[in-house]
Chain A
Amino acid sequence: MLGLNKKDTSLLIIVALLTLLAPFILNPFPADSAMAQFNAGYPDLMQRFVIFGIFAIGFNILFGLTGYLSFGHAAFLGIGSYSAVWMFKLLSYNVIPAIALSIVIAGLFSLLIGYVSLRRSGIYFSILTLAFAQMSFALAYSVLSNPKFNLTNGETGLQVYADDPQIFHREGLPDLPHLFGLSMRSTYTLDVGAWSFDFNAGYYLCAVVMMIVFYLAIRIFRSPFGIMLRAVKSNQQRMNYTGLNSRPYTLAAFVISGMYAGLAGGLMAAMDPLAGAERMQWTASGEVVLMTILGGTGTLIGPVLGAGFIKYFENIFSKINDSVLHGWFAFLPDGMEDFVVAVLHPFVGKGWHLTLGILFMLVVIFLPGGLVEGGQRLINWIRGKRSGETDKPSGKTEPAE
């Protein structure tokens, strides 16, 4: 279907089902139960899952295929957000021109930064991109936000004011980002017994966009262009010796992934019309690297899983505070309760980084292929157990001849 082979088609269908049914999948616990703490099916977090999924898919086109580790991709995310908010300020709250401009501007910036940075490879490339990203952050944070020429509004973040031109804004349109009148914040809540599921317009817009860009990513992975990028990763020198100039390919990959980041930034602004400079900081660039590695570098679905994993920790684990812990372990005798809470305390709430760090270490040490490898091992193990087969494909490389 759509020019994909069977395996990729079913992968696309699985991703489509997961994203479209996410409101159900992410809210498995009744709204009033103690486990509701772990529900992630509220609009803001679902949007984040998908948006960072898009960001990581794009990053993976560069890092997973060519092996060029960019440490500055958050810059493109931020540039996308700023462009989108400027569209809101100047034209109207309609998300279409905002997202379109964010992709274009991020593409232009990545062309510029990529053209300079890709003259080097390896660690030098990473440092160059990091430098550019930090420059962009400093520009957005203070230089471009002085009272005389205020492009970014500094630490407060760029937002839409009532006295902005908004030349296409009419009476009757929502005062929030919307798609031809459908507000991105409009949510339909479906109550089924004790369960409650939120269907949010903004989330579904992001979900549809993600399915489109996921499909694009599959096509890129399977195209001759994708093969060329993999060749860059396996041995760029040899490629150069055969008389092939690899720079245009890597630059194209860099620009494509920059545009993916811009798209993610534009969507972020479309869900919440504020662009802050922090989303360009180096920690944000590092986060997408973590997402990709955690999920599985060079795999299609991995980055999406990694993005979901990290955002889940950031938003759910960070909210478990001591009083919640006491609530859970109230059935234990007093001394025991305090002890258990004291043991768990460093790992939840503001200690969520610690939990995430431990999990990241475990994944990198025991599952170098990321969560995807974990899933594959699990499936193989179940299959092997069910059929009792022993001749399942081993990890050994078979000689080609």
Chain B
Amino acid sequence: MSNKPVTRRGVLKTGAVAGAGVALPTIFTASSAAAYTNEPTGGTVTLGFNVPQTGPYAEEGNDELLAQQLAVEHLNGEGDGGCLNTFTSKALKGNGILGKKVEFVTGDTQTKSDAARASAKSMIEKDGAIMINGGSSSGVAVAVQGLCQEAGVIFMAGLTHANDTTGKDKKANGFRHFFNAYMSGAALAPVLAKEMGTDRRAYHLTADYNWGWTQEESIVASTEAMGWETVNTVKTPLASTDFSSYIAPVLNSGADVLVLNHYGGNMVNSLTNAIQFGLLDKVVNGKDFKIVVPLYSELMAAGAGENIKGVLGSMNWNWQLQDEGTKAFVKSFGEKYGKPPSNSAQTCYAQVLLYADACERAGTFNPCGVVEALEGFEFDGLGNGPTLYRADDHQCFKDVLVVRGNMNPTNAYDTLEIVEITPRAQVEYAPDHPMFAGGDLGKCNPGA
């Protein structure tokens, strides 16, 4: 610790330096010469992959990261090219994007809005990322999407299923490939009617946060439209690990279907509790008791093990599909990592290719050019069949899968079987549908 005497002159000097420091940012507020945020100037372009690497969705995040790395390889012309060969748009040449080699940086969202924004910000401010891709939660997706809109970069959402992401929280710089809760409801309802009849009484257990509510709202609306009655909807705290106290009242409620609006570990636990209570062996109102899990994922299915046998749900994509895009992607993913990809991995892979392709077709990395190229873009060959990126809300419209827990799985990966591929027309809705109303895309923001 210095013990220099403080002189009048010294104080004045320090004051002057401090004053200059404080004044500095007000002098230089003029923006720099770049036309948009993080305009790539060298021979490379940097993408930012923001996925949960720790926390409840870490497994899912790591799967997304693998898929994104694979996409970068394919863009740079390494490996077997994957979906580049099946993609209907032929703008991508396997020489990077617009001739620039693709590099990437990674960040950990921790499945927390704050942490996700911090890591996205650091990728934008420090590493010069031109776009942010990935994520495994709707809260995080909405938070990061807002940030990207403000910062002037493109956000390609990963797994996010709440209606709000392209509903009231939609942003011009954000794009969602994944399906949403409304689509789950629209796809599931006819299958439920066919398998269980139209006079069922449903009981909902819902994770008490934004995604849970929008999903509950969507499923209630579409099942009631076909004649079901909703006995009760109960919110469960997100942090619960034991749902016994919520399952017991189901038995006495007169309901004959239990809908679990839960995801990840929550779903694994609540389903296990429901099975332990023997719900599936009960006969209520003269019908067999059934359980429905509207949003499925391979990793959840693996976690729930035996318990998911026969349980219905919906998915964005599954590796067992037989189209060319799926086969190409599953082949390169499997050869590189020795396992089939999950549906969140497929979404992130497709999003990277879609972004790169939009840059090529626009001839620029400028977010406004990319937005224009993606809006109303029709494509096929990425695994989901013919797909449209709707201009009104930046939501992808494509077929939705209804799946069932496999009764006789032959290996660790075919835990789910595809019941029906719901055609796109059946899950479409108007951009001003009440469940999506209230938002405003705004204008694309190129930053700088």
User: Which parts of B141-183 form the interface with A (CB within 8 Å)?
Assistant: 142-143, 146-147, 150-151, 164, 168-169
Chain B residue at minimal CB-CB distance from A40: B126
Least CB distance, B34 to chain A, in whole angstroms: 10
Least CB distance, B280 to chain A, in whole angstroms: 29
Taking a contact as CB atoms under 8 Å apart, the answer to whether A7 and B29 are in contact is no
A373 within 8 A of B: no
B53 within 8 A of A: yes
Residues of A within 8 A of B117 (CB): 272, 274
B105 within 8 A of A: yes
Instruction: Choose the segment among A117-125, A157-165, A249-257 that binds chain B (4+ C-beta atoms closer than 8 Å).
Output: A157-165
Given contacts A6-B3, A182-B29, contact A155 B22 (CB under 8 A): no
Residues of B within 8 A of A48 (CB): 118
Taking a contact as CB atoms under 8 Å apart, the answer to whether B210 and A154 are in contact is yes
A245-287 vs B, CB cutoff 8 Å, 1 = contact: the mask equals: 0000000000000000000000000001010101100000000
Instruction: Choose the segment among B13-21, B270-278, B399-407 that binds chain A (4+ C-beta atoms closer than 8 Å).
Output: B13-21
Cβ 8 A contact of B150, one of A176, A321, A353: A176
Given contacts A188-B24, A350-B108, contact A156 B6 (CB under 8 A): no
Taking a contact as CB atoms under 8 Å apart, the answer to whether A188 and B25 are in contact is yes
Taking a contact as CB atoms under 8 Å apart, the answer to whether B14 and A16 are in contact is yes
Taking a contact as CB atoms under 8 Å apart, the answer to whether A44 and B125 are in contact is yes
Given contacts A1-B11, A182-B25, A186-B29, contact A276 B113 (CB under 8 A): yes
A64 within 8 A of B: no
B213 within 8 A of A: yes
Instruction: Choose the segment among A198-206, A220-228, A233-241, A363-371 that binds chain B (4+ C-beta atoms closer than 8 Å).
Output: A198-206
Report the bound CA distance from A17 to B58 in whole Å: 41
Taking a contact as CB atoms under 8 Å apart, the answer to whether A349 and B440 are in contact is no
Residues of B within 8 A of A208 (CB): 22
Cβ 8 A contact of A156, one of B17, B122, B125, B143: B143
A1-21 vs B, CB cutoff 8 Å, 1 = contact: the mask equals: 100001101110110110011
Chain B residue at minimal CB-CB distance from A48: B118
Tell me the count of chain B residues lying within 8 A, CB to CB, of chain A.
62
Residues of A within 8 A of B28 (CB): 188, 199
User: Which parts of B1-50 form the interface with A (CB within 8 Å)?
Assistant: 1-6, 11, 14, 17-18, 21-22, 24-29, 31-32
Taking a contact as CB atoms under 8 Å apart, the answer to whether A201 and B1 are in contact is no
B208 within 8 A of A: yes
Number of A-B contacts (CB under 8 A): 153
Report the bound CA distance from A194 to B448 in whole Å: 22
B209 within 8 A of A: yes
Least CB distance, A215 to chain B, in whole angstroms: 12
Given contacts A44-B121, A315-B122, contact A276 B143 (CB under 8 A): yes
Taking a contact as CB atoms under 8 Å apart, the answer to whether B150 and A319 are in contact is no
Chain A residue at minimal CB-CB distance from B138: A156
Chain A residue at minimal CB-CB distance from B236: A142
Given contacts A156-B138, A272-B147, A278-B114, contact A186 B6 (CB under 8 A): no
Given contacts A10-B1, A141-B238, A182-B26, contact A156 B32 (CB under 8 A): no
Taking a contact as CB atoms under 8 Å apart, the answer to whether A156 and B25 are in contact is no
Given contacts A154-B139, A154-B210, contact A272 B4 (CB under 8 A): no
Least CB distance, B317 to chain A, in whole angstroms: 25
Cβ 8 A contact of A278, one of B24, B54, B113, B121: B113
Residues of B within 8 A of A142 (CB): 208-209, 235, 237-238
Residues of B within 8 A of A146 (CB): 213
B43-69 vs A, CB cutoff 8 Å, 1 = contact: the mask equals: 000000000011000100000000000
Cβ 8 A contact of A42, one of B27, B106, B122, B138: B122
A189 within 8 A of B: yes
Cβ 8 A contact of B114, one of A6, A153, A200, A276: A276
User: Which parts of A16-45 form the interface with B (CB within 8 Å)?
Assistant: 16-17, 20-21, 39, 42-45
Taking a contact as CB atoms under 8 Å apart, the answer to whether A204 and B22 are in contact is yes
Least CB distance, B447 to chain A, in whole angstroms: 9
A138 within 8 A of B: yes
Residue contacts A-B, CB under 8 angstroms, 27 given: A6-B5, A6-B6, A9-B6, A10-B3, A16-B18, A42-B122, A141-B209, A141-B238, A153-B210, A154-B210, A155-B211, A156-B139, A157-B142, A161-B440, A163-B438, A188-B24, A188-B25, A188-B27, A188-B28, A198-B125, A199-B28, A208-B22, A276-B143, A278-B112, A278-B113, A319-B122, A379-B1
Q: Which residues of A contact B (CB under 8 A)?
A: 1, 6-7, 9-11, 13-14, 16-17, 20-21, 39, 42-45, 48, 138, 141-142, 145-147, 153-157, 159, 161-163, 175-176, 182-183, 185-189, 198-201, 204, 208, 272, 274, 276, 278-279, 315, 318-319, 321, 349-350, 353, 379
The 10 nearest A-B residue pairs measured at CB:
A188-B28, A155-B139, A276-B113, A20-B21, A201-B25, A44-B121, A42-B126, A278-B112, A142-B208, A42-B125
